[in-house]
Structure formats: structure tokens, C-alpha cells
Chains A and B, each alone.
Chain A
Amino acid sequence: MTDQKLMLALALHDGTGSLANSWRAPHVDPAAYADIDANIRYAQSAERGIFTFLFIPDFPAVRADIEHGSVRNIIDPMISLTAISQATSRIGFVATGSTSFQEPFNHARQFKALDVISHGRAGWNAVTTSDPAVAANYGRPVAERSERYARAHESVQIVQALWGSWEEDAWIKDKATGRYIDSAKLQPINLQGEHVASRGPLAIPPSEQGQPVIFSSGGPSPHLLSLAGRYASGFVAEVWTIDEARAQRQLVRRAAQEAGRDPDDIKFFAGIMPTVAPSVRKGLDRRIAIAGDALEAQLPHLSSMLGVQLERNQLDLPLTDQQLSRAQPSGDPRSGIALNVARQGWTIRDVLAHGVIDFHPTVVGPAELHADHLQEWFEAGAADGFWLSPDIFEDGVDAFVDEVVPLLQQRGIYPTEYPGDTLRENLGVPDQYGLDPRVFGAARSDQQSVGENANDPRRHT
């Protein structure tokens, strides 16, 4: 699939934006968090820009700074996406759901229900949860890592088996004979793991894409790669540089290959936090106007990233020659970027306004800069696509769609229409129904065990 074009995704979370204090921006409704119509506007804008999917990160707990920081999380992934599905027709939906605290039967049911009513546009970002604040909301302790991943393997296998339990040709619905379903093709799965289990079947027929697409996200630990390699068709990454992204993408692709799949069957998405503005200066000013005090608070972090002491009274001055000559990138992967920006002569406030301490690479300025960034990464094999966290949703999505997308199209690296109707088609990943036979062998029968070692082809090699 070498002719596949670059893909874009939009992260939705608090309804206002990814820039600190975005909820305070004058043109933003501070109550957008609870206003589904706001998220619907952003989704429709992304669909206009032929984005492949909406990505919903999730942190089901209140962070400490709710007083000043807003909620920074969507009100509920499934409720919000289902509502958005009724106002869109092509864009996909990838919601995060933790395997650590939820029952596979519930996950299987809700995700496939969304998949069916959205006509094949749902995906599940299957994660494990290690945060004590989240665990406490489920009244449980955090399990240790190997147990969390063991449960994750069992959960995804049970969910996919439940998805496949209503076979593709089970639905007869013949009025004349009165036969609704061929019962032989809607049978229990009887999967028993150490942590979770389910009998099934699940009474939901295939969607237009068969079943939801599985995603993985996070840092590529061996545990996560084992999960992603077997199940995921998409990988949502946190990477800072082209080299880092290429290395991670290769790890992810190799993990898929080792699980018996084609490496092209898993698509790698790098993050980007764009501010689209007529000029770099105007973009920096926009960010400073909104995030000003939060940027100033990052000063000590920047000092430690560069290994030089930067003073508050220096904020509106560039680094001194002496500071620049002494500065060294630290272990923080962002420090090299920060140093490059500093060497360009920007004031310290402007360096911070470049988003050098954000969660993903930040591009600030005119559309060309954004298109250049995406093209460079894409053509270097650093990503199959990008997930965007715009500074402010209210105008940031439109700006990207209206200004950056046309440039990408002109350069021939971005589609001018959706390749297909389903998320699976638009991702360019193959059909799948039930468990992947390349990973798990032929159809199961009777009571089966599940888990990290179930039907693992590597056991036989």
C-alpha cells in the first residue's frame, strides 16, 4: 500500500482546546465542556477536512487543578461519540476504554452498538490503567503491570470473539418462512481467562466494517507492543522527533509481523499541536495572549531542559551568548527542539510560546509550515498519519482544515475525498471479523482459554 496518502485525526477532550487556559480565550464558550454541540461543530469541521477519525483520550478522574484548568477530558467517550455519529457520516471514532476496570461483555456490546448505528465507523483504543486516581474511582487498587497486560489480552480476545459470535451470514430475516436468524451461526464463545470471561454470544450483527477497529496508544514498552502487535490496526503515539517516530513505527510494525500479521496492517499516528496563524509572530502572540502565565510557569522546566539558569527578568530577552554556548540538551526528548528554537534568537517567552514543553511537536505559524512538517515526517516514514490537538477548537480546527489541508492536497499527499465509507476502509486496513486467524489460528470450539499465550504462533517456533 505504498500509494496510501497521509491521514489526519482530531483529538477531542475538553471542548475548548489544548493550549493552557484555552477555556478563558475570549472567543471560546467556557462551558463548551458540557455542550455537545461544540464537539459536533469540531467533528463536522474535521469531516469537511476528510479526517480519518476523532480520537478520544480518556482520564476518568478529576485532576487537581480543576479550579483553573478545566476538566481536560471529554464528558463521556461513548455518549459523546454516539451523539456526534448522528451529525456526521464519514469520519471515524476511536474511543479509549480501559481493559483494567471494565467487563469485556460491556465493551463488546457498546462498541459494536456504536459501530452498527454509525454504519461502520467505530474503533476502540484498548488501554490498561495504572493511575491510582482512576483506580480509586473504580474502588480498586492498581494491579501490577504484568497482571494489567494479562487482563488486557484476555479482554481484547473476548471482545473480538464476542464481536464474531453473530456470524456474518447468520441473519436470514426471511418474512415468508419466519426464520429470523440461523441459530447455528449465533453461538456461545465460552472463553475463560484468569481475570475475565464470557459465555456469549453477543446479539449484534456485523456492521458495514464487520467489527470495530482496535487501536493501541502510549509508549512502546514490550508489554504494549505485544498487545498492539496482535490486535491493533492503529497506534496512537507520543513522539518528538522524526528519528524517534521512525524507530517507534518500526517497532510497532515489527510487533505486528511477529504476531503473524502484515506490518502495513497497523497504522502509526504521531501527534501534533498546531497553531495556524498568518505569521509565526501572530501565532506566538495568540498563544502568549491565552496561555501567558502558564508559559511563564514553565521557565524552571526550560532551565533544566537546557541546563542553564534562566531568570524571570530575562523572559522578554533572548538567551545570552554565554547561556547559548553553555546550553546542552538534557535527557528530555524535547530539549533538542527547545535549543534549536532558542538558537534562532527568540526571546525566552517566545521560545516557550513555540510549545517546546507541550505533549507533542508544536508548529506555530502559516499553513506552509504545518504542511512542511507533516510532509517531512510522512515522507521520512515517521508516520502514516497525525493526530491533531489544536490550540483552540473553536477556530483552530477550521483554520487547519481551510488552510493546511488544501496545501497537502495540492502536494498530492492528502486525499480529496474519503477513500471509503468505513473507518477500516479509510485507514486502509484489512477486513476482520472475530479474532484474527493469522494470530489465533482456526475457529475455536468448546471452552477455550484466553490470554497472552493463547494460540500464540510463537510458541510453536
Chain B
Amino acid sequence: MKNDHMILGLALTNNFGAHSASWRMPHVDPRAYTDIDVTAKHAQTAERGGLDFIFIADRLFLTGDLAASNPLFNLDPIVTLAAVARATERIGLVATASTSFTEPYLLARQLKALDVISHGRVGWNAVPSFEPDAFANFGKTPPARENKYERLHEAMQIVQALWGSWGQEAGQPDQSGVFADPAHVQPVNLFGSQVGARGPLPVPPSEQGQPIILMPASSGLGLQAAAMYANVVIGMPSSIQESRAQREMVRQAVAAAGRDPEDVKFLAFVGFTIGTTELEALEARRALDANLDIQEQLHRLSSYLGLRQQVTEPDKPLSAAQLAAVRARPQDARSRRAVGLAQAGWSPRDILAHAVFDPYPAVVGTAEQVADHLQEWFEAGAADGFMLNFDDFSTEIEHFVDQVVPILRQRSLVPGAYAGRTLREHAGLPPQYGLDPALAPPST
């Protein structure tokens, strides 16, 4: 199905925001890391704006400097979303879970149970682990690079087969007849070299049948796996051109796997800080950046500007001599953007406040500018939708919902309200139950 509207997901991984200093803002409770009511409130705000899903990323080991910043990841994505499911009604709930350490039967059971209790709103961001630190938490060592996806393939096939093992035809429990037709609740008997399961899984279909699958954009073996299983692929391209290329690559791989490219949606990461004026937005970002080490930031900026002599004055626009010396790194959209902002006369601190170093394209500006960015990418065929990131959840989700969504609705880029009830409907995905028949192995 071709989407008339852009798909919008909200990256809501920790309860603070994408900026490492958001926990230090005066209006933020630093205990929010463990406060499920905060997560629920953010999800409710997103739901008020008709966003299609919230997304919880995951890491199975500590990462980042916890001495100076909140944990970057969630207590537990699946447990968190089971709680959020009770606080929301329409918004999709996407949990990241590694295929490397949990048995497929348990993954299948938890994700489908969550799908059933949320009435068809669950997505699974399926990823293989490869980091030695993650494996160490399970007393294991990572597989060789070429085997990174081996267990993922087995797990995906077993999980989806288990999902389909309570057939739609098993029927609803009939008090004068049978609870379930046992002919349609049958074992899957899939045993791979790493994991296996007999089944069946006693979880009936949800309103969307089974959870949808999301996977990160990748190349090589990762692209091949996404082409086989993913309903949604999420990339982090730095420009429209790169995004179009990634999307095209995914579509070709999907077609090569025997599936319809229209059935797989490509989402691009994007970040926003929104103000009623551009200066107000920059001010909000500067307040966050004030907690970072400015010398370190200037050092990095100097390098992006191609300056051998480090910029030392954060509040003075670059001198004519400095401007004459700047050199954008070719092929680096962030470097080009930093140079452009320097040439436009912004001070180093303001260049930084434009979020030039964020890992995804970022707009620090007005709701209009944010909407323009989304529209330009969407209409250029760069993406079917976006994974939204905000510096500070406590203010920015609301800004987006109250200021940007009305513009997007006015421009008919998003629907005026939820048209469907399930995540599959929100994302414009076709029905699927069990493994995609296009991939089904020949029966033996």
C-alpha cells in the first residue's frame, strides 16, 4: 500500500530526552528515569497529537558516562510498554528486543501477549546483538561477524511461526462448543542450529493479528534480513539524497526477497527543538548545551569547519580570516551545515545550538520550519515517515503536538485523527499472520 500520509514515530527511550543534559533542566525531575507515570504522560501527549507509535530503543549493557548523564536506555522496553498500554488507547508501542539472548518462545509470547492486551498496537524492533559487553552480561562471547545474523534468522522465523500457530481459524471460544479448534492450534516444530521451539504458542490473534516488525537500516547481511522480515525499516540518513538512496536500496532488497516494496516503509531519524521564533528555539538548545564542556564542543566544531587553529571565542562570529580558512568536509552533511551557518554569521555557540552534531538531521527553529523539513523529505520520496527525536521530552513533545501537527494536518501530510485502531493500520501495512508466505520455506 502506498501511504498518503507520513508515518510519525516518537523515540521515547529514556524519560528525559535525546540531549544528555535534559535531566538537569529546572523543570525536569531527575528521578524520571524510573517513573512510569512520566513515560505514560509523554505517550499520552504523543497520542493526543495522533502520532503513530512510540519507540523504545535498547542496549543490554551500560553505555555512556553515567557519572555525568542519565542512563540512555530504558529499565526494560517490554515491561515499560505493558504499563504504557494501560495509559493509552490508540498509539502504537514499539519495543526493541535483541534476538541474541532471549529464547524465541519467550519473545513470541511476551510480544504477542502485549499485542493482545493493547488490542493490536505492538511493533517489535528486532535486532541482533554484536557488542562484546552485551554478550558478557550473558556469560557469552559474540559470534564471528559473518554469523551475526544467523540466530536472528532462526529467531525471526520461529517467533513468526509461533505467532501464527494459534490459527485465525481456531475461532472464538464457544461455550456450547469448543474452546479452540485443535486442528488450528498446532506445533511449529522448528529447530535451528541455535534455537528452536515445538509450539504451539497459546496466544490468540490480536486485532492486528500479530505484532509488526521493525528493523534498523543496514547493509549486507542486515539489509538482507530486513528485506525478509521487516514491515518498517528505520534509517539515519544525513540528507535527502542519502535517504532516497537508502530507501531505494531497501525497496530493491525487499523486491529481491519476493515481497512487495510498497509493503515495507522506510523511516528517517530526525530531531527537533521548537520555539515560537528561531531565536527562542536556539535559546532552548543553548540552555541545554550550557551544561556541556564548551571547549570540547569548540574543538569538535573547529574540526568540522576545517580550521587548523581552534576557535576559542564561543560568542564571537568567525572573523574574516577564519571564514576565509573554513573548509567543509566533502560528503559530510554536518560539516557542510556548520560551514553554512558560520558563513551566515552565527557565533560558534549558536552554530552548536543548531544541533549540527546530532547524529541525525536536526531542525532548531519554528514549527513552520519543522513542518517544511518533514514535507520536503516526504515529498522528495526520501522517506515514508520519520522517527522523531526531541532534546527535552518534557517540553518538546508538547511543542510538536500543539504547534507542528496542526500545520502538518493543514497541509494534509498527516490525517486529522487516527483512522484505524491498530499499529498495522496506522502504518498502512497489509495483514500478516505467521511468516510472510512469500518467504515460507518449501514444505517438506
Contact = CB atoms under 8 A, between A and B. Distances in A.
A70 B70 contact: no
A200 B182 CA distance: 44
Contacts of B113: 75-76, 79-80
A198 interface: yes
B117 A83 contact: yes
Contact of B182 (A66, A85, A133, A192): A66
B83 A82 contact: yes
Tell me the interface secondary structure of chain A in the complex. Answer: mixed
B67 interface: yes
B138 A198 contact: yes
Interface string B32-54: 01101000000000000000000
A144 to B, nearest CB: 20
B200 interface: yes
Nearest to B194: A139
A62 B185 CA distance: 9
Contacts of A181: 66-67
A66 B136 contact: no
B36 to A, nearest CB: 4
Tell me the interface secondary structure of chain B in the complex. Answer: loop
Contacts of A82: 79, 82-83
B173 A116 contact: no
B202 interface: yes
B174 interface: yes
A318 B47 CA distance: 64
A67 B75 contact: no
Interface in A64-80: 66-71, 73, 75-76, 78-80
Interface in B252-294: 291
A34 B204 contact: yes
Contacts of A193: 139
Interface residues of A toward B: which range? 35 or more
Contact of A86 (B87, B139, B179): B87
A78 B82 contact: yes
B436 interface: no
Interface stretch (A201-209, A375-383, A431-439): A201-209
Nearest to B154: A139
A109 interface: yes
B138 A102 contact: no
Nearest to B82: A82
B398 interface: no
Interface in B114-168: 114, 116-117, 133, 136-139
B433 interface: no
Given A23-B173, A68-B179, A105-B60, A192 B103 contact: no
B184 to A, nearest CB: 10
B86 A110 contact: no
Contact of A180 (B67, B136, B172, B204): B67
A193 B138 CA distance: 11
Nearest to B174: A30
A43 to B, nearest CB: 12
B179 A70 contact: yes
18 contacts: A30-B175, A67-B182, A79-B110, A105-B60, A105-B137, A106-B101, A112-B75, A113-B75, A117-B34, A173-B31, A175-B26, A178-B21, A178-B24, A178-B291, A182-B67, A199-B137, A199-B139, A203-B62
Given A86-B87, A137-B197, A173-B30, 16 more contacts: A23-B175, A33-B173, A67-B179, A67-B182, A70-B173, A71-B179, A73-B202, A83-B86, A105-B60, A117-B34, A138-B103, A139-B196, A175-B24, A178-B68, A180-B67, A198-B137
